[in-house]
C-alpha cells in the first residue's frame, strides 16, 4: 500500500475519533495500533483483510511480544473501531476470535510512613502535584488538568472536570495544601501575565468553548493550576500555547523518589490514589463515601480496597503462630542456636539446629 494511502486512512481514523469526541490519548493509542497492524501485514489495506489477519496480529502480540492483557484488549478495540466505525465493515467473526480475560489484581498500596518519606523526597517542582493526588485521590491527569476556577478555597473543595468516563465530581481540598496552592497560583499568574503580554494564544478549551466564549481561553479563570514552564505546539490545532505540566515529568520525578525512599513495590503516581482510598477505609469512612470521592460508577470497583482491612486467609490465624512458642519452651538443651533469625508476629525467635548426638538419638528412637 502506498504511504499516501496509509496516511489517508489514518486521517480518516483521526477524523472519526474526533467526531465521536474521544480523548486525544485514545486517538494516539488507536492510531498506533492501526499503523502497527498495517505494517505487520506489509502495508496491505485493512479492507482487504479479515479475521485471519486480525487473529494473526493479535497472536503475534500475545506470543511474540508478550504484551499484557490490557494492551491486548486495547489493540483489539482499535481494530474493531477501524472496521466498524471507519470502514463500515461488520465483524461477524469477532466472537470467534474472542477477547482475553482480564485478571483481578490487588492494587499496590503504600503505608502512611512510606507515603510521607516518598513525598519528602520528590523534588519541589512536582511535590505539590503528588501531595494533591494523595490528599484527594485524583488520577494524575485529573490533577494536572485542573483550572483556576476548579479550586474553591471558600468551600475547601476541588471540582474534577471530565474525569474517567467524562464525569465530574467534587473532592475535598486538604487544609494543609491551601497555602501551597495559593503560592502555586501566584506563580502561575506570572506565566499567565507573560503570555498575555506576548500575545500568545490562550489555553486549550474543550468542546469549542473558545468559539462560544472567544475571550475565555485567555482569561485567568481558565488558566492551568499547574502550567508548563514553556509554551508548546498544540498537536491538533498547531498553535503555540501554554499547556499544563506533562504527566511524564511527574512520573519520572516520582520514580526517582521511590528509588530514593527504598520502596521495593512497583509504585507509580496512581499508587497514591490506591493509598488514599485504603487509608480512608482504615480510618473508618464508609465505602460509599470513598466511592463518590474516587468517582467509581459501581461500588464493586471500590470494594477492591477492602482487601487490606482483612488479615490474610480471611482473618484465620495460622496454626504456626501458636505452635512455634510451644516448641521454643519445650526445646531440649541439645538444640543449639545459630546466627540467623526469623520473624513471627514481629517477634524474633532464634532458629535452632540439632546436634549430631541428638540427631542420632532421634534416628534410633524412630
Q: Which residues pair with 354 in a beta bridge?
A: 335
Q: Which residues pair with 240 in a beta bridge?
A: 233
DSSP 272-299: HHHHHHHHHHHTT--HHHHHHHHT-SSH
Q: Find the range with the poorest average confidence among 88-102, 141-155, 196-210, 302-316.
A: 302-316
- Is 164 among the catalytic positions? yes
The 3-state secondary structure of 68-122 reads CHHHHHHHHHHHHHHHHHHCCCCCCCHHHHCCCCCCCCCCCCCCHHHHHHHHHHC
Instruction: Label residue 95 by pLDDT band (50, 70, 90).
Output: low
Q: In the predicted model, what is the mean pLDDT of residues 244-248?
A: 93
Integer Cα distance of 221 and 178 in angstroms:
18
pLDDT (tens digit per residue) in 304-330: 887 766 544 455 666 766 665 555 555
pLDDT at residue 326 in the model? 55
Counting every residue written for the chain, the total comes to 366
Mean pLDDT comparison of 104-108, 162-166, 239-243, 258-262, highest-scoring range? 258-262
- Is 273 among the catalytic positions? yes
Check whether domain 112-307 has CATH 3.40.50.300, yes or no: no
From 14, 126, 139, 241, the catalytic residue: 139
Q: How crowded is residue 55: how many other Cβ atoms within 10 Å of its Cβ?
A: 14
pLDDT at residue 351 in the model? 42
Integer Cα distance of 259 and 255 in angstroms:
6
Asked if the model's pLDDT at residue 363 lies above 50, the reply is no
Q: Find the range with the poorest average confidence among 8-12, 35-39, 236-240, 256-260.
A: 236-240
pLDDT (tens digit per residue) in 141-160: 999 999 999 999 999 999 99
Domain boundaries, the chain: 3-97, 112-307, 319-365
Q: Which residues pair with 244 in a beta bridge?
A: 227
Integer Cα distance of 154 and 175 in angstroms:
11
Q: How crowded is residue 136: how many other Cβ atoms within 10 Å of its Cβ?
A: 22
* Closest to 7 in 3D by CA, of 42, 33, 30, 31: 31
CA distances to 134, 321, 343 from 347, rounded to whole Å, are 32, 11, 6
From 14, 242, 244, 296, the catalytic residue: 296
Integer Cα distance of 201 and 241 in angstroms:
5
Q: For cell 492510531, what's the residue?
A: 31
- Is 270 among the catalytic positions? yes
Asked if the model's pLDDT at residue 133 lies above 90, the reply is yes
Instruction: Label residue 245 by pLDDT band (50, 70, 90).
Output: very high
pLDDT at residue 89 in the model? 84
Cβ-contact 83, 58 below 8 angstroms: no
Q: In the predicted model, what is the mean pLDDT of residues 245-258?
A: 94
* Closest to 287 in 3D by CA, of 309, 304, 302: 302
Q: Rounded to the nearest 10 degrees, how much is the dihedral formed by the CA atoms of 50, 51, 54, 56?
A: -120
- Is 139 among the catalytic positions? yes
**Comparison of pLDDT for 92 and 357, the residue scoring more:** 92
From 147, 149, 161, 270, the catalytic residue: 270
Which architecture does CATH list for 3-97?
Orthogonal Bundle (1.10)
pLDDT (tens digit per residue) in 178-193: 999 999 999 999 999 9
From 85, 164, 169, 256, the catalytic residue: 164
Amino acid at each position: 500500500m502506498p504511504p499516501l494511502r496509509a496516511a489517508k486512512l489514518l486521517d480518516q481514523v483521526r477524523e472519526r475519533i474526533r467526531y465521536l469526541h474521544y480523548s486525544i490519548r485514545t486517538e494516539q493509542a488507536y492510531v498506533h495500533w492501526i499503523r502497527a497492524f498495517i505494517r505487520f501485514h506489509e502495508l496491505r489495506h485493512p479492507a482487504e483483510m479479515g479475521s485471519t489477519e486480525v487473529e494473526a496480529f493479535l497472536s503475534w502480540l500475545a506470543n511474540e511480544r508478550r504484551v499484557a492483557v490490557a494492551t491486548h484488549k486495547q489493540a483489539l478495540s482499535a481494530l474493531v473501531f477501524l472496521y466498524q466505525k471507519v470502514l463500515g465493515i461488520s465483524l461477524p467473526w469477532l466472537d470467534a476470535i474472542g477477547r482475553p480475560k482480564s485478571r483481578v489484581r490487588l492494587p499496590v498500596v503504600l503505608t502512611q510512613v512510606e507515603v510521607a518519606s516518598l513525598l519528602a523526597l520528590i523534588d519541589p517542582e512536582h511535590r505539590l502535584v503528588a501531595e494533591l493526588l494523595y490528599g484527594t485521590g485524583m488520577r494524575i491527569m485529573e490533577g494536572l488538568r485542573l483550572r483556576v476556577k476548579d479550586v474553591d478555597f471558600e468551600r475547601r473543595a476541588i471540582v474534577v472536570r471530565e474525569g474517567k468516563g467524562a464525569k465530574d465530581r467534587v473532592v475535598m481540598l486538604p487544609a494543609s495544601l491551601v497555602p501551597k496552592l495559593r503560592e502555586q497560583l501566584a506563580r502561575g499568574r506570572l506565566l499567565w501575565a507573560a503570555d498575555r503580554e506576548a500575545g500568545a494564544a490562550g489555553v486549550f478549551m474543550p468542546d469549542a468553548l473558545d468559539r462560544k466564549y472567544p475571550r475565555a481561553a485567555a482569561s485567568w479563570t481558565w488558566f492551568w493550576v499547574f502550567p508548563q514552564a514553556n509554551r508548546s505546539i498544540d498537536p491538533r490545532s498547531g498553535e503555540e500555547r501554554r499547556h499544563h505540566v506533562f504527566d511524564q515529568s511527574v512520573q519520572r520525578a516520582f520514580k526517582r523518589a521511590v528509588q530514593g525512599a527504598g520502596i521495593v513495590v512497583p509504585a507509580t503516581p496512581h499508587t497514591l490514589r490506591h493509598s488514599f482510598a485504603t487509608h480512608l477505609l482504615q480510618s473508618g469512612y464508609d465505602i460509599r463515601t470513598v466511592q463518590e470521592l474516587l468517582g467509581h460508577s459501581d461500588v464493586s470497583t471500590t470494594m477492591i480496597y477492602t482487601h487490606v482491612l482483612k488479615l490474610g486467609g480471611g482473618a484465620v490465624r495460622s496454626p504456626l503462630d501458636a505452635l512455634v512458642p510451644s516448641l521454643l519452651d519445650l526445646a531440649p538443651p541439645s538444640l543449639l542456636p545459630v546466627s540467623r533469625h526469623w520473624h513471627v508476629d514481629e517477634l524474633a525467635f532464634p532458629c535452632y539446629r540439632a546436634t549430631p548426638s541428638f540427631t542420632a538419638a532421634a534416628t534410633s528412637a524412630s
